[in-house]
Amino acid sequence: MLVTVVALVIICIFLGWVWDTYGPNISLMWLAIIIAAIATISALLSLKLTRASLETTRGSLELTRATTRPFLNIYPLVVNWSRNDGRPTLVKNFIFGFCNTGPFPADKVSVLMKVNKEKMDNQQHLFAVSEGIPPICFPSEEITNLHFREVDEKEKLEVELKGKLKVRIEIEYENKLTQETCKTNRSYLVQYDPTAQGAPTPLPKEDYWD
C-alpha cells in the first residue's frame, strides 16, 4: 500500500514536470506519460513477483525444517477424576502418550502440563510424570500411558460439576543429530461431567510447535 502511494506521488510530480516542459507539444507529452505509466506498472509487478518469491522461499524453508527434525505428536488426552458422582471432585490424574512422527530421534525429552480453571481463577496447577519417559525417543516410537499427577500436593485442583479446565501440554526435546531445541505444545478444554468421562476438546488455534 505504501509503495503504491509513493508511486502515485511520483507520477503526479512527473506529470507536473511534463506539463511544464512539453505543454505546447501534446504528442510529446502523451509519449512521456505512456513511458512513465509503463515504467510504474513494471516496477509494481516486479515488486509483487519479488514478494511472492520470498513467501514461496519462506514456506519451502519451513517445510524443509519440519521434515528434518523429530516431532512428538500427542495422543488423545484422558482425565481421571477422584469421584464421578457429580459432587466437586479433585483431578486424580491425566493420562496420555506421544509418538515421534519425525524422521530423527528426539533427545532429552521433558513434559509438563499446565492446568487452570477456565473463566475463574488464574492460579495455575502443574502436573508432571515421575517415570516412563525414555531419554531418547526414536522415529515411530510410541510412548503410552503416561500418568501425570499434580506437583503441589498441598493445593489440589478441585472442580465443580460442569466446571471447565484449560489444559496445556508442553513438550521440549532436542534433535539428536543437531542438538537443536524443539517444542510441541497442545491445548485442550476439559469439562467435569461424569457421563462424559472427562472427554477433552482440542483447541487447535492455541497449538504451537517450534
Average of per-residue pLDDT across 192-203:
74
Lowest model confidence (mean pLDDT) among 41-45, 93-97, 163-167:
41-45
The pLDDT confidence band at residue 19, using thresholds 50, 70 and 90, is low
Which three cell numbers mark 76?
Answer: 488423545
Asked if residue 47 has pLDDT above 80, the reply is no
Pair type for strands 164-175 and 142-150: unpaired
Identify whether the C-beta of residue 159 lies closer than 8 Å to the C-beta of residue 165.
Answer: yes
Q: What is the pLDDT of residues 52-104, one digit of tens each?
A: 666 655 554 454 455 678 999 888 888 888 877 778 888 888 889 999 998 99
Asked if residue 39 has pLDDT above 50, the reply is yes
Q: What are the angstrom distances between the C-alpha of 178 and each of 14, 44, 160? A: 56, 41, 46
What is the model's pLDDT at position 173? 94
Domain boundaries, the chain: 2-66, 72-209
Q: For the chain, what is the mean pLDDT?
A: 77
Q: Would the pTM of this model clear 0.85, i.e. be above it?
A: no
Which three cell numbers mark 194?
Answer: 461424569
Choices 2.60.40, 1.25.40, 2.60.120, 3.30.720: CATH for 72-209:
2.60.40
